[in-house]
Structure 1
Amino acid sequence: MIWTTVLLGGLCVLHIALLLLAEGSRSGSSGGPWGRTVTFQRGRRAPRLQRDTSSSTDNLNPSRGPAFASCQLPLTPTEHRILDDNTQETGFNGDDGSHVILTWVGDGTGVILVLSTISAPLDSYLAGGSSRLYRSTDYGKSFHDISHRINHTFIKEELGISVGPGSSVILTADIPIVDNPGGIIFTSTDAGATFKSTQLPFHLDQSITYHFFNPDYLVALSIDDSLWLSLDFGARWTKVHEGVHSFSWGAGTNLFFSCSRVDAVEAEERGDLVLKRTKDFGKTFTIIHEDVFSFGYIGAFLFFSVMEDPRSPRVMYFSSDQGQTFNQALLPSASTEQFYSILDGDEDMLFMHVDNPGDTFFGTMYTSDDRGILFSKSLERHLFDGHRKSDFTNITSLRGAYLTNKLDIDGRIRSVISFNRGGTWRPLKKPQNVNCAGNVKRCNLHIHGEHSRRNQIVPMLALSEPTAIGLVIAHGSVGDSLSSSQHPDVFVSSDGGYNWRGTLRGPHHYSILDSGGLIVAVEVHREGQVKTIKFSTDEGQCWKSYNFTEQPFFFAGLASEPGTKAMNVSVWGFRPEEDGQPMWVAVTIDFQSLITRECNKKDYEEWLAHSTDKRNSERNGCVLGMKETYRRLKKQSVCRNGRNFVVTKKQIPCPCTREDYLCDYGYYRHVNTSECVRQPNTPNKTFEMCLNGEEDELLTAGYRKVPSDKCQGGFTPQDVVQTIIRPCGVKPSPDPSVKSTSVGHFDTPKERLVLTLVSVGAAVVVLVAIVSSVLVVKGRVNTTRMPAYRFSNLRIQDDNNSIAAEFGSAASSNGTACQHDSDVDLLE
């Protein structure tokens, strides 16, 4: 697995910039081993968080929110001595590097690489500049300078360092293009213990991309838009194709890429790209579709937008079989002032946002079925700000839980949560230990998301981990809506978001260690320095504070091994020196020396997830057709889960009800009933969504099980007579025998290797790769035709916890599209 710690800047590595630390987060592009993130600034103002009407304090001097009891315990002299003996401070000079990148390598290896890089022009290289590379094998307690292993070569920030599956590492050297056939990479298969230098036959345009599971398979895009492939971890490279715009690994050895036509001019602007697939490492190709503007791959779904002629709108297509067949998405159209955005997805379903017309900063969220055909309305007025950022968050510590924000009619931002994968949404409960101040009509917890982080209101987003069952940590405010006139406080939930409590006053950086057995936090001081870390062994109910250094420094972030297994945490920062260069500092604290007792059976409890109605034993805890009982640590247990801790659970299927099913295409739930009925075949053909006049048969009984629902028995739609309806846009991929061509060859025996990937594992890795990413599709629209669409009707709860009326038809202008400034880089 790949362990990479984020402190500032990019998605997958820690970028610490001196200018960044002084002035806050930046905009622009940043990269990591799995892709690229680009920030776009749209020329309009984003919605602002509402002030708390009970306070007149302005944003320059934020007020405290409603008071809550916070348990603070003192360290005992013994605890203080133990922590002092197991805290190590390391200082190192960044030399000429303006950035420092920290990267974890491997799973449980304890290896950290620290690389100083530069984002300046190549003058420094020509003058003999070099980067420094440091390595730690003890979780950051000590570092050793290993710059000689990369020949003291200069590494530029934009390409920098990438880590892959296992213990693989790639460093990309910054070599002047003049008189050089290509760049230089340094590769390591032993977590940086040794490096091998390789001269590339091309110059890289972006970071090298690993295969999801096999670190030997590498793909790279050169500055002349050629696609290159290596099957031996970078030792040899073969050119796969020219004129490539973007690419993505699929399942197994499927590699997708979009490229220009031979005779195309400005293909990217005209939507004139060709989407191709190779399954044999570039020996043969299959054309999936022409007239493609952009594409992406997430979970088990390939998706792409098509402009079939320059005057037509773009149309979104989905494929769940690696492009063998594909279906037009049954979604409302979007004009040139709107966009589509893939929020999340796995092998079962997708979450998609469809923007509303105009400068509204909200839209409608839809969820797909397992075919990528039928999209059901999930949440209206879903917030999506002017930076192309959504507050949508997957709570990974509880199956089916998602958190997001919506922009209500009164202009206020309010938080909602779903426990059944978007089927219903509800407000968050007021924390148990917080009372609302002032005369507010509604008092709920509201969580700060990406919109708040970009506006520098909070330092980090909500945090959850799959091994810390039910645990969620987030910044929020309590009141009628999300407030910017208060300091955001830290709140914790132990049951996946059903119930919350206030735990820390003011903004903090926080991290989960030991599979949830330990939480650490460092308070944010915008202009001050830090020297104290807080820690809790009872999921944030009580905290102890420890001064980890005698000389405070400017905070850069927490560095703890992802995956929550370790009990070591590093606090990173810098102290300015007299010569103007920063002295970088890493203070590593080993909490394993403090919490020495291994947990035993008595330290754990059986916990039924989603338990909300104990009076109904049959249905209590039934979510998505399953009851799940987890074995997890008791809050009062002060012990160590350890690296061998494995989450265990018992699953019991629930009897099926109609709520476990969606209404299939051509059917809808009639008002005040739970039965799916056939959409009347009226003259305007409201269930016919063909933009191109093609129709295909779809056999259906009117019901389709909710994706990921595991119910058994009970209600079954097989009792209903099946009928045939005709959705449009279901097309096979072009015949490979016609569209395939043979190019190039590989001399390695690995060329015939075909991987069979477990679908669930593939989905997890793909989700890691796109954990902060969205797809945005743009296009031109012909607004003369306005078909109406009928969707299956999901229910949502309004702010008063009552069931809202079922959704009916939704009319919109046709076209599948979004802002032109967002497709150039597909994944933000």
Structure 2
Amino acid sequence: VLATLHYDPLVHIFNDLSGSVSLAWVGVGTGVILALTTFQVPIFMITIGQSKLYRSEDYGKSFEDVTNLINNTFIRSDFGIAIGPENSGKVILTADVSGNQGSRIFVSEDFGKSFTHQQLPFVPYMQITYNPENSNVLMALSNKVNFGTNWKKLHDMVCLVKWGRKNTMFFTANHNGSCVDRGMLELKRTTDYGKSFKTIANKIFSFGLGGKFLFASVMTGKGTFRMIHVSVDQGDTWNMAQLPPVGHEQFYSILAANDEMVFMHVDEPGDTGFGTIYVSDDRGTVYSKSLERHLYTTTGGETDFINVTSLRGVFTTSILAEDKSVQSVISFDQGGEWVPLRKPADSKCDATAKDPERCSLHIHAAYSIATGLNVPMLPLTEPNAVGLILAHGSVGDAISVLRPDVYVSDDGGYTWIKALEGPHHYAILDSGGLLIAVEQNPHRGINQIKFSTDEGQCWGVYNFTDDPVIFTGLASEPGARSMNVSLWGYRTSLFHQYWISFTIDFKDLITRNCSDQDYVQWLAHSDDISDPTDGCILGYKEKFLRLKKDSVCLNGRDFEVNTQPTPCLCTLDDFLCDFGYYRKENSSECVEQPDLKGKVLEFCLHGTEEELQTNGYRKIPGDKCEGGKIPDRKEINLRQRCVSDLLGPELLVIIIVMLLSTAAGVMFVKKYVCGGRFLVHRYSVLQQHVEDSAAGDGMDDQLETNHTPNGKIEFHDDSDEDMLE
């Protein structure tokens, strides 16, 4: 039951004029937040600035100024706040020591209660990263080094380095002295922190990790084309992926990967802005065409590909149509079939639609943000908020440039409702039991927050202040289990400007804990209850217990998703089109590619030539169907040798240190400062998971990066990038 709405939020005023605020949650369920404010001005070749550090133990309701713990040192905001894994309570702040040969870090092992400083014998080139399986071990790259203390140089002339599994490190190096010489790099591996190395591949252009797979982009022939090679044993053996080669102006991108399959984007020749998505088998070797004309810009590297984590098997992305319009599509079966998003009931095409008969919902994501549309947030889903998706969108025949609205799906993208007019910042709280939103309006102050207890159908309004604030962003604990949300902004007067945060604890508004009677059983992926296969996706049905829409109660921090899986009989929907086959639009039948008709399909696997005999279908990786219709398929060993022979700007150095070590979310609020006046206010959410540098499910892992002189990382349109969501 909703209590009185006359609850006063807790307000904290930050009396400094810093241009940016970075927020980091330290641990899970601890309530500890660190806020780092930064003001900096570049002067000639150096940067002058100041930082202040604040700490909260009550989810942002109050903050203590703890700047003295870091000796009033200027902290590099581009490196952020590095939070340790495993709820270890470890924090690293990297200081900016301009003009020095070394640098300095501040380290905490008690959730930011205290810090010790350590002089570094080098200048870091990127944020120091933790070993995801042992937070006592750190890694950094540097281009200047003077070793001492506990740091150990592992290798010279390193171009790129990544953590793997079980304390393994992979890196590329070039003994000729230049990382610009792409395609001539060596890929090396160490499992003992540099005591020994093994060269596992040569002629490397780039490499990446995803799930159990190690990928290498390798120069072939005379160096005009590249091919992807895949290893599932950390580089001991390699197989060539059955994917088209790419030229100098093209790239590969791993969109998603886990231990069972890979989504791979292969760029089209020329500056087209699109390519083709391929889906792999469980070995990462044989690929099937999943989606053509997939939008992936070469100018900025934007793609709208999103893994809908709130429902198994669901992905959304955008395609670039023949008429150059951008259109949204969704897959409910892990890339087996892509369809337009169903428009909300009673909705009409917007004014930009060319064909009112072809209306569907189109989702705004990274591409829309990059083109400058007023889209304050990407689509939002959470694994523990089953079926929920919040996104900005428009109804028409393509993505519109008009002002977007907020749409909500409660069934994983099958159906949608228009929830809010105009752009908003939004968040999911209490495992989906509570949604909150704040209007995006850069031209006037905000004093209202909207909330919904029925998955976006109805919204209440709460005035959190009488004096409107220039709103810059929402901050809620990652994981969507909290009932606290903080609204950040600033106030300004003729002579004074200052940051201010309002923290609302909705436990003071929603007072009753949920009971068994508040939940109802829900069959996922259900769209036709008369069909015996209704709800069958990837070979099984799942029933969940979900909160009733008319139940206003607390799920609680300990809420766990309850599911009941039931296997299904196999149908053609449980199969991808095999190598050399594809599905026509709106058809489940796989037909042979015209250019491969009548040809023997052979590929190299484990060093021997294999012949593929198929009716055009292969089971989707991870599909658990039983019996039913199973098309014939077999691979015949031809006993012929084939070999994936992978052995045959500034130089960086890997550095590692031993120190005495859960994923934390980092929010970043930035104000661009010019002449003492705030000109632009931008807010973005940076989900920083320490596992990002590991090979694992659902992790961001940049396959290729180019290091810029300021130490930041850029992505260029000629690179092979894997962005694992």
Q: How does 1:376-525 map to 2 (within 5 A)?
A: 376-385=288-297, 386-436=299-349, 440-457=356-373, 458-484=375-401, 486-525=402-441
Q: Is the 8 A contact 1:268 1:293 kept in 2?
A: no
The alignment status of 1:159 with 2:85, answered yes or no, reads: no
CA distance in 1, matches of 2:71, 2:642: 56
What corresponds to 1:79 in structure 2? 4
Q: How does 1:206-605 map to 2 (within 5 A)?
A: 206-224=126-144, 236-261=150-175, 264-308=176-220, 311-385=223-297, 386-436=299-349, 440-457=356-373, 458-484=375-401, 486-579=402-495, 582-605=497-520
Q: 1:825 and 1:145, CA in 2 relative to 1: closer, same or farther beyond 3 A? A: farther
CA distance in 1, matches of 2:27, 2:239: 39
CA distance in 1, matches of 2:338, 2:74: 51
Q: Is the 8 A contact 1:117 1:160 kept in 2?
A: no
Q: Is the 8 A contact 1:274 1:292 kept in 2?
A: yes
CA distance in 2, matches of 1:472, 1:668: 30
What corresponds to 1:92 in structure 2? 14
SS at 1:421 equivalent: coil
SS at 2:356 equivalent: coil
SS at 2:181 equivalent: helix
Q: Is the 8 A contact 2:361 2:395 kept in 1?
A: yes
SS at 1:713 equivalent: strand
What corresponds to 2:112 in structure 1? 192
Q: Is the 8 A contact 1:210 1:218 kept in 2?
A: yes
Q: Is the 8 A contact 2:447 2:465 kept in 1?
A: yes
Q: 1:268 and 1:745, CA in 2 relative to 1: closer, same or farther beyond 3 A? A: closer
Q: Is the 8 A contact 1:325 1:730 kept in 2?
A: no
What corresponds to 2:38 in structure 1? 117
**Deviations for 1:150-195, whole angstroms, at most 9, x for unmatched residues?**
11111122224211211221011112343x4x21111112210111
Matched AA of 2:621:
P
Matched AA of 1:462:
P
After superposition, the CA RMSD in angstroms is 3.6
Q: 1:106 and 1:421, CA in 2 relative to 1: closer, same or farther beyond 3 A? A: same
Matched AA of 1:327:
N
Q: Is the 8 A contact 2:241 2:287 kept in 1?
A: yes
CA distance in 2, matches of 1:310, 1:579: 66
Matched AA of 1:441:
E
CA distance in 2, matches of 1:670, 1:413: 21
What corresponds to 2:719 in structure 1? 823
Q: Is the 8 A contact 2:150 2:657 kept in 1?
A: no
SS at 1:592 equivalent: helix
SS at 2:12 equivalent: strand
Q: Is the 8 A contact 2:105 2:120 kept in 1?
A: yes
Offset of 1:722 from its aligned partner? 5.5
**Deviations for 1:768-793, whole angstroms, at most 9, x for unmatched residues?**
8744x664699xxxxxxxxxxxxxxx
SS at 1:148 equivalent: helix
Offset of 1:721 from its aligned partner? 6.5
Bigger mean CA offset, 306-315 vs 633-642: 306-315
What corresponds to 2:669 in structure 1? none
The alignment status of 1:636 with 2:558, answered yes or no, reads: no
Q: How does 1:586-665 map to 2 (within 5 A)?
A: 586-617=501-532, 619-662=533-576, 664-665=578-579
Match of residue 104, structure 1, among 18, 22, 25: 25
Q: Is the 8 A contact 2:40 2:50 kept in 1?
A: no
Q: Is the 8 A contact 2:295 2:318 kept in 1?
A: yes
What corresponds to 1:698 in structure 2? 610
CA distance in 2, matches of 1:187, 1:727: 56
Bigger mean CA offset, 560-569 vs 404-413: 404-413
Bigger mean CA offset, 513-522 vs 250-259: 250-259
Q: 1:140 and 1:235, CA in 2 relative to 1: closer, same or farther beyond 3 A? A: farther
CA distance in 1, matches of 2:657, 2:45: 38
Q: Is the 8 A contact 1:694 1:728 kept in 2?
A: no
CA distance in 2, matches of 1:266, 1:516: 50
What corresponds to 1:59 in structure 2? none
Q: 1:700 and 1:252, CA in 2 relative to 1: closer, same or farther beyond 3 A? A: farther
**Deviations for 1:630-661, whole angstroms, at most 9, x for unmatched residues?**
11111111000000101110111112234423
What corresponds to 1:149 in structure 2? 69
CA distance in 1, matches of 2:641, 2:377: 44
Which ranges in structure 2 are unaligned for 5 or more consecutive residues? 649-653, 662-689, 707-714
Task: Give the TM-score taking structure 2 as reference length.
Answer: 0.85
CA distance in 1, matches of 2:705, 2:498: 44
Match of residue 173, structure 1, among 95, 98, 102: 95
Matched AA of 2:554:
R
SS at 2:367 equivalent: helix
CA distance in 2, matches of 1:316, 1:592: 51
**Deviations for 1:505-553, whole angstroms, at most 9, x for unmatched residues?**
0000000000000000000113222111100000000001111112222
Bigger mean CA offset, 493-502 vs 725-734: 725-734
Q: Is the 8 A contact 1:119 1:158 kept in 2?
A: no
Matched AA of 1:571:
L
Corresponding residue pairs, total: 673
SS at 1:317 equivalent: strand
**Deviations for 1:690-715, whole angstroms, at most 9, x for unmatched residues?**
8xx99723376646421111122334
Offset of 1:389 from its aligned partner? 0.4
Match of residue 55, structure 2, among 108, 128, 135: 135
CA distance in 2, matches of 1:663, 1:411: 27
Task: Give the TM-score taking structure 1 as reference length.
Answer: 0.75
SS at 2:225 equivalent: coil
Q: 1:678 and 1:518, CA in 2 relative to 1: closer, same or farther beyond 3 A? A: closer
CA distance in 2, matches of 1:189, 1:729: 52
What corresponds to 1:802 in structure 2? none
CA distance in 2, matches of 1:612, 1:711: 19
CA distance in 2, matches of 1:266, 1:585: 48
Offset of 1:336 from its aligned partner? 2.9
SS at 2:628 equivalent: coil
Q: Is the 8 A contact 2:607 2:644 kept in 1?
A: no
**Deviations for 1:608-649, whole angstroms, at most 9, x for unmatched residues?**
1011221122x1111001111111111111000000101110
Q: Is the 8 A contact 1:188 1:195 kept in 2?
A: yes
SS at 1:120 equivalent: strand
CA distance in 2, matches of 1:700, 1:615: 38
Is the strand fraction higher in 1 or 2?
A: 2
What corresponds to 2:679 in structure 1? none
What corresponds to 1:49 in structure 2? none
Q: Is the 8 A contact 2:174 2:184 kept in 1?
A: yes
Q: Is the 8 A contact 1:324 1:733 kept in 2?
A: no
Which ranges in structure 1 are unaligned for 5 or more consecutive residues? 1-74, 229-233, 736-742, 751-760, 779-818
Matched AA of 1:79:
T
Q: How does 1:18-97 map to 2 (within 5 A)?
A: 79-81=4-6, 83-84=7-8, 87-95=9-17, 97=18
CA distance in 2, matches of 1:716, 1:460: 43
Offset of 1:682 from its aligned partner? 8.5
Matched AA of 1:712:
E
